[in-house]
Amino acid sequence: MDSHIKRSRLLGNPIPSSEITPEAVYRARRQFMTGAVAVGLTGVPALARAEGAAKTASLSGVKKSSLSVTGEETSTWDNATTYNNYYEFGTSKSDPAENAHTLKVRPWTIVCDGEIKKPQKLDIDALIKTFALEERVSRFRCVEAWSMVIPWVGFPLSKLLEKLQPTSRAKYIALETVYDPDRMPGQHRPVLDWPYVEGLRIDEAMHPLTMLAVGMYGRVLPNQNGAPLRLIVPWKYGFKSVKSIAKITLLEQQPKTAWNVRNPGEYGFYANVNPQVDHPRWSQAKERRIGDFLRRKTLMFNGYSTQVASLYTGMDLRKLY
């Protein structure tokens, strides 16, 4: 490993600084690009941007969820599909839209094992047919202090868990993507301990707000957003919502999770959105809604306190961040 990478790793950031697009620069570039006159003048190939925003197939028979956030403007399709974190396809925000289309998402199997009475392999299309799909508008808050509002399409994770029948020993769930550097070239680099894995306590997993998403904006999930199946836990930081899930394991012990293993001092297992607990390198008190100019205050549990605060009664959320 070259010394540049080693040095930046010591600072808690495994990516050479030369490869990071600072968010401010990126945003300035996007704002520049979205001005009608400026389009075509930048170094970003127009084709790559067009691909990022390409519309996927529509999903039918989707019912509106009563758990949607109301009174907040949803993010644009273009922002939601071109400003992404998906390190298997590169570490800058525009990389996933440019690179993730190479991932083949059919056929796709989800292996379910561990502390369940019905271990099984599920085909993604069978899964989509099994559960009633709902559209649910949710706030999404990345640990990097940006946010969006997305109309996800999916079903509650609890519905799948009912089918798998956790044993009495199941206390946690781990969800992980595939390990296949040929399909996910970012896995050739030691950014994280691949494959990306995330986890929840079983009561968090059973909470009605916790979703498995197969679509957004009434359409099939684009690859860069985690096709064919990704987790959504709207009161937690975005890194909990693992993309392109290929394995679900119920466990007695708390699983090791990707960002927590990488840097436990910065990324906790719980990762509940909490404006009072700063990230060691920046404040979490405010966030930028992508598309907005001014920052807004971050809300406790991302605005879902009334629904989820009782899950954490008696816990010190400063220690268990």
Ligand X SMILES: Nc1nc2c(c(=O)[nH]1)N[C@H]1C(S)=C(S)[C@@H](COP(=O)(O)O)O[C@H]1N2
Instruction: List interacting residues with ligand X (CB under 6 A).
Output: 84-88, 142, 177, 196, 225-226, 238-239, 241-244
> CA-to-CA distance for 220 and 235, rounded, in angstroms?
23
Nearest CA to 273 out of 308, 229, 244 is that of 308
Residues from 57 through 86 that contact Mo ion (CB under 5 A): 85
- Site track 138-177 with Mo ion (rule: CB under 5 A), x = hit: ----xx----------------------------------
- Strand pairing class (134-141; 63-64): parallel
Please report the DSSP string for 146-158 in residue order.
Answer: EEEEEEEEEEEHH
| Shortest Cβ 249–ligand X spacing (Å) | 16
> CA-to-CA distance for 195 and 257, rounded, in angstroms?
10
Which residue in the block uniquely carries the two structure tokens 């971050």? 298
Cβ within 8 Å of residue 143, ≥6 positions away: 237, 238, 239, 267, 271, 279, 284
Cβ neighbour number for residue 210 with a 10 Å cutoff: 24
Which is closer to ligand X, CB of 88 or CB of 115?
88
In the complex, residue closest to ligand X by CB: 238
Question: In this structure, which amino acid lies at residue 177?
Answer: T
Structure tokens belonging to residue 173: 């769930």
Tell me which H or E stretch contains 120: strand 120-123
Which is closer to ligand X, CB of 177 or CB of 298?
177
Which is closer to Mo ion, CB of 78 or CB of 266?
266
- The radius of gyration computed from the CA coordinates of the chain, to the nearest angstrom, equals 19
| Shortest Cβ 176–ligand X spacing (Å) | 8
Q: Residue 304 binds which one of ligand X, Mo ion, none, with CB within 5 to 8 A depending on kind?
A: none
Which is closer to ligand X, CB of 166 or CB of 228?
228
Q: Residue 194 binds which one of ligand X, Mo ion, none, with CB within 5 to 8 A depending on kind?
A: none
> CA-to-CA distance for 7 and 140, rounded, in angstroms?
32
Which is closer to ligand X, CB of 27 or CB of 163?
27
Among 83, 89, 196, 239, binds Mo ion (CB under 5 A): 239
Position 291 contacts Mo ion (CB under 5 A): no
| Shortest Cβ 237–Mo ion spacing (Å) | 6
Which residue in the block uniquely carries the two structure tokens 């949710």? 138
Which is closer to ligand X, CB of 62 or CB of 242?
242
| Shortest Cβ 154–ligand X spacing (Å) | 13
Structure tokens belonging to residue 218: 């009434």
Structure tokens belonging to residue 80: 């939601």
Which is closer to Mo ion, CB of 75 or CB of 85?
85
Among 238, 255, 268, 291, binds Mo ion (CB under 5 A): 238
Q: Residue 196 binds which one of ligand X, Mo ion, none, with CB within 5 to 8 A depending on kind?
A: ligand X
Binding-site ranges for Mo ion (CB under 5 A)? 85, 142-143, 238-239
